[in-house]
Amino acid sequence: MIKKTTIKFDIEVNEDNTASKEIEYKNYSKNSDNEENLLTYKNIIKYDADGNKCENKETFNKIIKTEENVDEMVGNSANNNDWKILEYKNHILEKDYSKIYDNIKLDINYDIIKNCEDKKYIVDK
């Protein structure tokens, strides 16, 4: 089995003291049956000049690829509101729906992301 996790963490402060923070988390695996799994999660948080959080956007893209099929699920949420979900099979849209924000559980090491948010650095646990 092949497994790879990548994390990108960016902080940007603008001249007007507004700021944004972006965390991108990618988790890839390939098993002995050649099934590939890729999960990409991105969280972009914007802050006003006083340091208050004013916008929180999240996206994820989950792909499962076998020799015959490509299954893909894409989700978007703003400010912890319901997820807008699109599901594709072999690049053809099959489902379009919303799901309650807390009902989506992704295979992500949330401790690493929390450390980025709280401490501004990455610690692998």
Q: What is the pLDDT along the chain (125 residues), one digit of tens a residue?
A: 899 999 898 989 999 999 999 999 999 999 999 999 999 999 999 999 998 999 999 999 999 999 999 999 999 999 999 999 999 999 999 999 999 999 888 888 777 777 766 665 555 54
Say if 58 falls within a structural domain.
yes
List of E strands, the chain = 2-13, 19-30, 36-47, 53-65, 70-78, 83-89, 92-99
- Domain span holding position 98: 2-119
Say if 115 falls within a structural domain.
yes
Say if 41 falls within a structural domain.
yes
Cα separation of the two ends of the chain: 21
Q: What is the pTM of this model?
A: 0.85
pLDDT at 60: 97
All residues at 6 or more sequence positions from 69 whose CB lies less than 8 Å from its CB, including other chains = 89, 90
> Looking at the 3D structure of the chain, how many domains does it have?
1
Say if 56 falls within a structural domain.
yes
Say if 124 falls within a structural domain.
no
Say if 24 falls within a structural domain.
yes
Say if 10 falls within a structural domain.
yes
Say if 96 falls within a structural domain.
yes
